[in-house]
Amino acid sequence: MDTTLQDPLVGQVLDGRYRVDARIAVGGMATVYRALDTRLDRVLALKVMHPALAADGSFVERFIREAKSVARLAHPNVVQVFDQGTDGSYVYLAMEYVAGCTLRDVLRERGALQPRAALDILEPVLAALGAAHRAGFVHRDMKPENVLIGDDGRVKVADFGLVRSVDTVTNTTGAVLGTVSYLAPEQIERGTADPRVDVYACGVVLYEMLTGGKPHQGESPAQVLYQHLHEDVPAPSAAVPGLAFELDELVAEATARTPDIRPHDAVALLARVREARSALDQDQLDALPPQALTADHDNAEDRTSVIPRALTTRIGGGDGGTGGDGARSEAALNRTSRLQAPPPPQPPAGAARPGRPRRTLLTVVVAVLLVLGAGGGVWYINSGQFTKVPPLLAKTEAQARERLKEAGLGVDRVEHAYSDTVGRGTVISTDPQAGARIRSHDSVTLTVSDGPETVRVPDLKGHRLGEARTLLKKEGLEPGMVSREFSDDVPRDAVIGTDPEAGTERRAGSAIALTVSKGRAVDVPDVTGDDLDEARSQLQDAGLKVRISAEQVNSDYDKGRVAGQSPEGDSQAAQGDTVTLTLSKGPEMIEVPDVTGNSVGDAKNTLQKAGFQVQEDRGLLGLFGDTVKKQSVKGGDRAPKGSTITITIR
């Protein structure tokens, strides 16, 4: 629904291209508008960063860099980014416009959903996140507000505004970006985020869809954060009796407080969701949630905003944080939050005791730690003794040294390692790792990439196949596909050559195809129909071995003669190969029908159906006759199948 109230941007044309028609939503980081691309004549969503954040150069730089990265993420369940730009003080993203509603709207209206509906929504969400995770991105702000459900039923994940690369940390000093109700414990404690934080948030969203409420409730963000750190997400069936055990297991796995216990990314969680769905019967999937769980939300609680950490500290330290305004505290739990360390208190003018503010600050810190417990490291206020190791992945050694110097850190030593994914001369990892707390002026060990390890393919010609495989593994290569060819100069089962050929450089671990000799080629004589001794002699003279099959078959050849051979005659085989001979049991004998007295047509039809050939003998007296007077084999006697029966006609 449009919420335009004299918004100064409505009616303007940004960047000479995007006409802003209406305001759709307001969040903590940006405002979203419905706009028209006047150049392509299409409706789209325009996300404009709030002016306060647009003034932060580092935030804008990250916003632009990450928007460009997400624009390359093409997936049917991801809201696409079309364009990014600036116009004066406005920094914006042009995105796909999805006509419909958010999952938050659905939960606000309906409360708990049937398990089938919850899984139908969760699966495309995980498919979208899975594509992002496999592309190296983490969303970091998964919540119902960021799940769009189109009027056509399609589900799309929106607002990758906090997305970042896997294995990097936030570069907003002293801040945690995310939404309080969906933050994973490691985000709260260390500010780190990998795909498992999205898995955790999806587990919370699944709980909310199944029960109609959030798993962790509190009057202040601090209380909710404490629960994330110290309490497991309860089983959905505790709130909605009758829900299947498989759904409880699914939520428990996704929201495990220890990251290593969770599925490692959204693709793995999607597999678990489908496994759980397959274990549920129709009644369990369509179980109706109790009406009592239908939530009644105020629009204010779903707005996205920025919560300074100082505010949450004050709320968490005294009266439970209501401050006489419970709606405001609840709203904070659903906002995309930038939790910041409070600035040092300033002494009042003319104060006689400059030490007093430090005691006040200490009191605040102690109060927060009492609320959060020992695990609440995110609330530690940096007094200058500690800093964080900056993210240095893929930076050159010189860039990494400069970045560390800017952070007040030094380089302990530089180690080198091979890497298939990180370019030569750039940083693979650091010790301590990026985001770790470290004392100021301490040193960091850098591991710099030497690029992919390369190995020369050894010359394996003439080596037996087993030896060749061993030599490849010894050189750091893998034996690949084996093909066989005839060779006049390379012995049987020895290597003729490799692909790539000997001396070629390849990455360590690459598979090397081997061509192995079948030996010298010989022509296989055709011995079918021959006497066994004669056939054996011919084959052995050609340099072949002979094997007699235990099975014999009926054939046109006399009993004991060769009825068939493998390989066939007139083909090629390697010297020393074995030719298998199948001997004949002679022709199959079958009973001959009695056709005397039958018409010629009936007699021929009967004999042919029985498996015989038919020949007519009419003589002079039978030229005009049509009755069989005699047959060459009497009816009831046996004759070889396929043999010829002569009928005499009179």
Residue-wise pLDDT for 504-555, tens only, equals: 988 888 889 999 999 889 999 999 999 999 999 999 999 999 999 999 999 9
Query: β-strands 644-649, 613-617: how paired?
Result: parallel
- Residue reference for tokens 């927060």: 368
> Is the pLDDT higher at 575 or at 376?
575
Q: How confident is the model at residue 68, as a pLDDT?
A: 74
Per-residue tokens: 174: 């002293």
Cβ count near 405 (within 10 Å): 11
Q: How confident is the model at residue 125, as a pLDDT?
A: 97
- Nearest-angstrom CA–CA distance, 160 and 67: 8
Backbone Cα Rg of the chain: 41
pLDDT above 50: residue 461: yes
pLDDT per residue as tens digits for the range 267-285: 999 999 999 999 999 999 9
Residue 177 pLDDT class (50, 70, 90 cuts): low
In the chain, what are the domains? 1-97 (3.30.200.20), 101-342+362-377 (1.10.510.10), 386-449 (3.30.10.20), 454-517 (3.30.10.20), 521-586 (3.30.10.20), 589-649 (3.30.10.20)
Q: How confident is the model at residue 450, as a pLDDT?
A: 87
Q: How confident is the model at residue 359, as a pLDDT?
A: 36
pLDDT > 90: percent of the chain: 50
Contact 75, 125 (CB under 8 A): no
- Nearest-angstrom CA–CA distance, 403 and 390: 7
What is the CB-side half-sphere exposure of residue 618 using CA atoms within 13 A?
A: 8
- Nearest-angstrom CA–CA distance, 459 and 482: 16
Residue 162 pLDDT class (50, 70, 90 cuts): low
Q: How confident is the model at residue 341, as a pLDDT?
A: 38
Computed over every residue of the chain, the mean pLDDT equals 81
Q: Which residues are catalytic?
A: 141
Enumerate residues 6+ apart whose C-beta is below 8 A from 566: 579, 580, 582
Q: For the chain, how far is it from start to end, CA to CA, in angstroms?
A: 103
Q: Report cis status (omega within 30 of 0) of the bond before 432.
A: yes
Q: Minimal CA–CA distance to 77: which of 21, 139, 1, 33?
A: 139
- Segment 287-314 shows an average pLDDT of 45
By CB neighbour count within 10 A (0-12 exposed, 13-18 middle, 19+ buried), where does 191 fall?
Answer: buried
Q: Minimal CA–CA distance to 172: which of 343, 47, 57?
A: 57
Whole-prediction pTM:
0.49
